Amino acid sequence: MIIIVKCREAWNVLKQYFGNFNLFRSIPSTIGAHEHQNQKISTIIFIILLILSFSILILYNSIVVVQKTMAIKHPSFAEYSQLFSKYSSALTCPCTKLSIKYENFLQMNFSLHQLCTSDFVTDQWMNFVAYIDIRIPLDGGDFRVTSRSAFPVLRAFCRLTNDTIFQNLIRFYAIDCVSGYLITSDLFQTEAQALINQFIASITKRSMLPLQIIRETTPANGLVSGPLSNYNFFQCKNSSYIFTTPNSYSNCSCSISAS
């Protein structure tokens, strides 16, 4: 009972104190009741605005993230990876060396068509197809005749392609990769794949260039192949002149296209 009475007395005191609380009390205090009521209302409004201002300030500080710049000299790759996982959008890592050659971090392996590593490009096979029994009459378009030229050409193109790729790889590895900042792993993978695709496209064009030149110059100059696969000779009766006639394959004349 005593505790309840004490609590009631304390409540009455606080109620009376806040009821008479006035931050804008006039001096002298002999004012009218209306003016005194205005001062109390002004006090309440001031306290509400003060509490509201503090609440907004506390809420703003809790929402806004204050960035602090820290410099870590010579971090290891593990430290960089850990920092990148936490601060990927704000992390920057300037490079002490602005350029590095591709041979230091890229390696490309290539393999040619299986024909280029088969027995069809070996000396043993070349010697085999070069032998023709002269007792057997063969037409110029017979495979046993054309193979004597076809397989050496195949071997030559295989060697040319291999040398072209090898020489271009040497030039590619000598190119410098220039960057002022360390790039992300995803960006590196994307750029590396784009470089590889560009390299493959350039190799394809350079490898096809000699073949394209041969295709263009052969019909333009009217060159006759050794086994007469593109042109044939004939001589009219009662004439000392020898004429040529183009061969046709699948309704395509060798005088128009060498392909």
Q: What are phi and psi of 36, to 5 degrees?
A: -65, -40
pLDDT tens track for 197-219: 988 888 888 878 877 787 777 66
Q: Evaluate if pTM is beyond 0.75.
A: no
Summarize the confidence of residues 133-154 as an average pLDDT. 75
| Confidence band for 134, pLDDT divided at 50, 70 and 90 | low
Q: Which range (85-89, 122-126, 243-247) has the least confidence?
A: 243-247
pLDDT tens track for 6-26: 677 666 666 666 666 666 666
Average pLDDT, the chain: 78
Summarize the confidence of residues 28-34 as an average pLDDT. 61
Residue pair 105/178 in contact by the 8 Å Cβ criterion: no
Number of H helices, E strands in the chain: 6, 6
**Rounded-to-integer distance, Cα 9 and Cα 7, Å:** 5
The answer to whether residue 37 scores a pLDDT higher than 90 is: no
**Rounded-to-integer distance, Cα 155 and Cα 121, Å:** 5
Q: 């394209």: which residue's tokens?
A: 212
Q: State residue 219's pLDDT score.
A: 66
Give helix 123-130 / helix 143-173 axis angle, nearest 10°: 160
**Rounded-to-integer distance, Cα 44 and Cα 160, Å:** 94
Q: State residue 114's pLDDT score.
A: 93
Q: State residue 21's pLDDT score.
A: 64
Structure letter (DSSP) for residue 136: S
Cα radius of gyration rounded to whole Å, the chain = 46
Q: State residue 116's pLDDT score.
A: 92
Q: Which range (17-31, 32-46, 52-66, 214-228) has the least confidence?
A: 17-31
Q: State residue 255's pLDDT score.
A: 66
pLDDT tens track for 160-209: 889 989 998 999 899 888 888 878 888 888 888 888 898 888 888 887 88
C-alpha distances in Å from residue 147, one per residue of 132, 171, 219, 229, 245:
11, 36, 21, 11, 22
What residues does each domain of the chain span? 2-63, 92-223
* More confidently predicted of 114 and 36: 114
Q: Which range (149-153, 157-161, 185-189, 242-246) has the least confidence?
A: 242-246
